[in-house]
Amino acid sequence: MNIPNPQHPQADSLLNIAVVGHTNTGKTSLIRTMLRSTEFGVIEDGAGTTRHVEQAAISADNEAILKLYDTPGLEDSRALFAHIKKLQAKAKSLSPIQILEQFIAQVTVNDSLEQEAKVIRQVLRSDILLYIIDVREPFLEKYRLELEILTQVSKPIIPVFNFIAGHDRELAKWREHLAAFHMHATLEFDTVAFTFEAEKRLYQKMQTLVESHYDRLQKLIDYRAQLWSQLCLSGAKRIAGLIVTVACYRESKSAQNNVIAHSLVEDRLHDFVRKAEQHCLHDLLAIFNFSEKDVAIQKIPVSNGQWQLDIFAPGILKAYGLDLGSAAAKGAAAGAGIDLMVGGMSLGAASALGAIAGAGWSTFKRYGDEIKATVKGTQWQCADETTLQVLYLRQKHLLRKLMHRGHAAQDRLQVDKADSEKLPSNWTKLTSALRQNPAWQEPSTARNGNTQYLEIEAKLVEALLDEN
């Protein structure tokens, strides 16, 4: 039987990665972000949060590729260094690794270096070390000693710079110090402000350092890239769905001046829009594996719009086979046809108009009911333009934030202002087409096979994913 030697991991075994560093530098945070899970370990602003080695596996398509080991923070590197030096002085013939093995074999429970021994034990069992650095800290003696000890293990080390936002100067200093330890392959990976590119670079660095795992790491990179673009696409599609649902929504109300009935219609509309947004938020959080705790969303201010059938809107004229330049349309626009088309029009007249213009009965059916209702004085209540815009902008903002939120982030995302976001260039055209098609409010085979609908959805998705 082939018993794996923990110090010489086989190429076909999982890649074991120890996440090490001084206490409170963001080791557990890094693992959460890599796992895309807020559930792993405990994160706290204070030393000594992680007390034991904890592991998690990362897979590609159900195939486990690597194991991450979270370790307690190194707290007293001075004492550890002194202790190791003492052991070295006593046993000069032992190699640096053998000295460390001796150290962990000798440490007892409740030893003041028990915590450090857990780290060294895991370091000796791993293939790569991720050394997490809080770049805000100067390169103090304690960090130098930590590196002296860790390099003694002769394992590849990837220094990972954390807390990098706004600390360029400190980062440059750290690079200089690490170069003195022959460490040039560093990585910037802010565990709170996530980018998929940084995650990819982390795996690529591992590939260059542990060639025997190159192909499996490539599999992981490809898998994660595919998964990431699917996540982003699902998020954008979900928001496009929300915009469609709300833009297509209308409540009909009679023209009679019934205040109570009108306010009920308004309430229903407000309720509908808020519930739809809440539902979308819920789905987005689930897509990116966050929870309601991660977001604080202000109630959307809904304002009422009025949707009126505009018989002269290009879409409708076109449906009847008329174009804006035609004699009939010109006559209508000049006022001659208004009585005919709105005031005095009967269904028969409209049908005849359709027939004259060459449009079939099916075309007429699409607008027939609306024309009839308009004639009878029905109006439609809908979410107005401002509401739709606010809805789109803040959902786009939320999507961008979720795409760049590390699973270690502790603050709540605020979703109210979205001044930095832009509407799609053809926004009005898109929403006006949606308003004219209330049947698209719910998914259906007819809707999902409709080319005009699919084009609108694609345009919304493209604009939502545009990060400029």
Ligand X SMILES: Nc1nc2c(ncn2[C@@H]2O[C@H](COP(=O)(O)OP(=O)(O)OP(=O)(O)O)[C@@H](O)[C@H]2O)c(=O)[nH]1
Interface ranges with Mg ion (CB under 5 A): 27-28, 49-50
Query: Which residue is nearest to Mg ion, using beta carbons?
Result: 50
Nearer residue to Mg ion within complex by CB, 51 or 417: 51
Measuring CA to CA, which residue among 167, 230, 166, 163 is closest to residue 196? 230
To Mg ion, the closest distance from the beta carbon of 28 in angstroms equals 3
Look at residue 38 and give the partner it binds from Mg ion, ligand X, none, a contact being a CB closer than 5 to 8 Å depending on partner kind.
Answer: none
- State both tokens at 421: 């976001």
Look at residue 26 and give the partner it binds from ligand X, Mg ion, none, a contact being a CB closer than 5 to 8 Å depending on partner kind.
Answer: ligand X
The footprint of ligand X on this chain (CB under 6 A) covers a number of residues equal to 23
Nearer residue to Mg ion within complex by CB, 31 or 403: 31
| Contact residue for ligand X among 27, 394, 400, 407 (CB under 6 A) | 27
Look at residue 47 and give the partner it binds from ligand X, Mg ion, none, a contact being a CB closer than 5 to 8 Å depending on partner kind.
Answer: ligand X
| Contact residue for ligand X among 9, 18, 25, 400 (CB under 6 A) | 25
Q: For the window 403-442, what string marks contact with ligand X as x by the rule CB under 6 A?
A: -----x-x--------------------------------
Tokens 């794996």 sit at which residue?
Answer: 4
Pick the piece of the chain touching ligand X (CB under 6 A) from 21-29, 276-284, 316-324, 420-428.
21-29
Q: According to DSSP H, which parts of 289-444 are helical?
A: 314-319, 327-333, 338, 347-357, 361-376, 385-403, 427-435
To Mg ion, the closest distance from the beta carbon of 19 in angstroms equals 9
Distances (CA, A) of 42 to 27, 37, 377, 400: 10, 12, 63, 26
Contacts (CB under 6 A) with ligand X, residues 185-214: 190-192
The answer to whether 91 and 102 have CB atoms below 8 angstroms apart is yes
The count of residues in the chain is 468
Look at residue 168 and give the partner it binds from ligand X, Mg ion, none, a contact being a CB closer than 5 to 8 Å depending on partner kind.
Answer: none
Pick the piece of the chain touching ligand X (CB under 6 A) from 37-45, 268-276, 325-333, 337-345.
37-45
Measuring CA to CA, which residue among 93, 330, 114, 264 is closest to residue 103? 114
To ligand X, the closest distance from the beta carbon of 76 in angstroms equals 13
The answer to whether 238 and 287 have CB atoms below 8 angstroms apart is yes
Q: How many CA atoms, within 13 angstroms, populate the side-chain half-sphere of residue 4? A: 13
Nearer residue to ligand X within complex by CB, 47 or 57: 47
Rounded-to-integer distance, Cα 43 and Cα 46, Å? 9
Rounded-to-integer distance, Cα 263 and Cα 246, Å? 19
Rounded-to-integer distance, Cα 123 and Cα 81, Å? 15
To ligand X, the closest distance from the beta carbon of 196 in angstroms equals 16
Phi, psi of 344 (to 5 degrees): -100, 10
Query: Which residue is nearest to ligand X, using beta carbons?
Result: 73
Measuring CA to CA, which residue among 313, 319, 311 is closest to residue 339? 311
- Write out the residues near ligand X by the rule CB under 6 A: 23-29, 43-45, 47-50, 72-73, 162-163, 190-192, 408, 410
